[in-house]
Amino acid sequence: MSKPKILVARATFPEVIERLSRHFDVSHNQADEAWTKAQLTEKLKGQQGAFTTGGERIDAEVLAACPGLKICANMAVGFNNFDLDAMTAAGVLGTNAPDVLTETTADFGFALIMATARRVTESEHYLRAGKWTRWSYDMFAGSDVHGATLGILGMGRIGQGIARRGAHGFGMNVIYHNRSRLDAATEAACKARYVSKEELLKTADHLILVLPYSPSSHHAIGAAEIAQMKPTATLINIARGGIVDDAALALALRERKIAAAGLDVFEGEPKVHPDLLTVPNVVLTPHIASATLPTRLAMANLAADNLIGFLVDGKPLTPLNPAVLA
Ligand code: DGY
């Protein structure tokens, strides 16, 4: 019997390709060519499954051109590259890769909080530029993380991981805002207090964004929200580009409306707003919050598990639109 055909749209671990090849007739992109949407659509024609990352847009147009497609398995917890309604309407299952990246991503969120508060990259650039001639009492003086108020916008699994690190590791006062309030046991485990978005903005010393992107979270943080923050506050975005209005943030940083920002994700990435590249008080990283080798391998294997689970065994692990299975 012939094997189902799948496309792996981006380069991934060779052992995952090898694993997939045991079950599927695999086309891959190990050269990691940057395909346009039209090229991706061409490659997807005739495939039953796709291994995608957050960069491949799967929408009604793509789906209409690929009627044989049955599943797109994202190697990412985020899935704003999927038009899930269109996928459901077309009977195409979407899956994501939750849980396996939670602790790694929470670690990175904390790394960015620390680097931003303590001006790590700004001071390193100064040193590398040969500008460091002597010690001085206020040179690159930043703000404390321990004992400060940590605000978390979006309190899913990763937000909770960051809360636990802040409360238990750094003695922080943790407040959060979320679409829905957590149950009392989870709040107690995270030592986190639910507040309104307004109180979160006004009270946080370090505000971290961990909410999913959707049309309703587009520019959840813009000029009006930044204006409510303390002038000493820092803002960290490890969620998705587009949740922050990057142009407004760059201006606010230049005008010192807030002290600093740490950004791992950007509107229209991999392009970065040019003004963010010229303000000194921002730490910029290229969407690497989940990037440790063990975690990225676990994410790739979970995407593979979903493809095998669905196309071979009829039971995907982490379906996003289970209506398709009914
Ligand atoms: C995710 O998993 O959504 C990350 O942003 C991709 O690395």
Give 126: exposed, middle or buried? Use CB within 10 Å, 0-12, 13-18, 19+: middle
Residues 209-219 have a mean pLDDT of 96
Residues 97-117 have a mean pLDDT of 98
Q: Write down the pTM of the prediction.
A: 0.96
Confidence of residue 1 (pLDDT cuts 50, 70, 90): confident
Percent of the chain at pLDDT above 90?
99
Residues 136-146 have a mean pLDDT of 98
Angstrom distance (rounded) from CA 147 to CA 130: 34
- Ligand 1 nearest-atom number relative to CA 54: 6
Determine the length of the chain. Answer: 326
- Ligand 1 nearest-atom number relative to CA 53: 6
- 181: CA distance to ligand 1 center in Å? 24
Angstrom distance (rounded) from CA 67 to CA 48: 9
**Structure tokens of 315?**
């039971």
Which residue's alpha carbon is at the smallest distance from atom 2 of ligand 1? 76
- Per-position DSSP letters for 105-173, written without gaps between them: HHHHHHHHHHHHHTTHHHHHHHHHTT---S--TTTT-----TTSEEEEE--SHHHHHHHHIIIIIH--E
Main-chain phi, psi angles of 14, to 5 degrees: -55, -35
Pocket test for ligand 1, best of 81, 101, 102, 285 (most atoms within 8 A of CB): 101
Return the pLDDT at 273. Answer: 98
Residues 25-29 have a mean pLDDT of 98
- 88: CA distance to ligand 1 center in Å? 22
- 259: CA distance to ligand 1 center in Å? 27
**Structure tokens of 112?**
């960015």
- pLDDT tens-place string over residues 142-160: 999 999 999 999 999 999 9
Active-site amino acid positions: 240, 269, 287
Closest CA to 205 of 107, 284, 114: 114
Return the pLDDT at 172. Answer: 98
- Ligand 1 nearest-atom number relative to CA 290: 7
Across the strands, what pairs with 82? Answer: 58
- 54: CA distance to ligand 1 center in Å? 7
Asked if pLDDT for residue 19 goes beyond 90, the answer is yes
- pLDDT tens-place string over residues 241-255: 999 999 999 999 999
| Sign, CA torsion 19/20/22/25 | negative
Confidence of residue 4 (pLDDT cuts 50, 70, 90): very high
